[in-house]
């Protein structure tokens, strides 16, 4: 199952868990399943069913470019990070 790394401000929702294993073959499923287990988490990550602007999701070392549709490999690590712009 993908391993989701929980940013510190959300750990109050995960009872302090820093890494959560949760099923799903794309990001939408992963976030829905997270929400099932830890209600309130989706609102922190999403706005109108899309990833919040300003937030980047790193899946298996690559920044997700397909948003909620991005595939999540069974062994993937998922990180929520500040979005990065370049010069």
Partner 1 sequence: MATADKPKYKVIGTRPVRHDGADKVTGRAKYGADIKLTGMLYGATLRSPHAHAKIKSIDTSKAEALAGVRAVVTSADLPEQGDRIVELGEGAANMRHLTANVLARGKVLYKGHAIAAVAADNIHIAEEAIKLIKVEYELLPPVLDVRKAMSAESPVLNDDIRTESVGSAPASKDSKPTNIAKHFLFEKGDIAAGFAKADVIVEREFDTSMVHQGYIEPHNATVFWNTDGKITVWLSTQGSFSVRQQTAELLKVAISNVKVVPTEIGGGFGGKISVYLPPVAAMLSKKSGRPVKLVMSRTSVFEATGPTPGSHMKVKLGATKDGKLVAGEAWIAFEAGAYTGSPIGPACMCVFACYDLPNGRVEGFDVCVNKPRTNAYRAPGSTHVAFATETLINEICEKIDIDPADFRIKNAAKEGVRRVDGPVYARVGMVETVEAIKNSEHYKAPLEGKHRGRGIASGFWFNCGLKSAASATVNPDGTVSLLEGSTDIGGSRTGIAMQLAEALGITAEEVTPTVGDTDSVGYCDVTGGSRVTFATGIAAIEAAKDIQRQLIARAAMIWDVDASKVSYSDGGLHGPAGKHLSFKEIAAKLHGTGGAVIGRGTSSEATQGGAFGTHCVDVEVDVDLGKVQILRYTAAQDCGTAIHPSYVEGQIQGGAVQGIGWALNEEYWYDEKGEMRNATYLDYRIPTCYDVPMIDTIIVEVPDPQHPYGVRGVGEVPICPPPAAIANAIYDAVGVRMHDLPMSPPKLLAEILKKES
What's the min distance (Å) between Cβ of 62 and partner 1?
A: 4
**74 scored as a contact of partner 1 (CB under 8 A):** no
Bridge partners of residue 50, in order along the sequence? 47
Site mask, partner 1, residues 9-48, x = CB under 8 A? xx------------------------------x-xxx-x-
What's the min distance (Å) between Cβ of 23 and partner 1?
A: 20
Bridge partners of residue 62, in order along the sequence? 59
Element (H, E) at 30: helix 27-37
Interface with partner 1 (CB under 8 A) = 5-10, 41, 43-45, 47, 52-55, 58, 61-63, 65-66, 77, 79-87
């Amino acid at each position: 199952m993908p391993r989701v790394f929980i940013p510190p401000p959300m750990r109050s929702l995960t009872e302090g868990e820093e890494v959560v294993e949760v099923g799903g073959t794309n990001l939408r499923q992963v976030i829905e399943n997270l929400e099932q287990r830890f209600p309130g988490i989706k609102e922190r990550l999403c706005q109108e069913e899309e990833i919040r602007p300003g937030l980047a999701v790193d899946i298996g070392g690559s920044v997700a470019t397909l948003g909620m549709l991005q595939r999540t490999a069974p062994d993937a690590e998922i990180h929520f990070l500040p979005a990065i712009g370049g010069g």
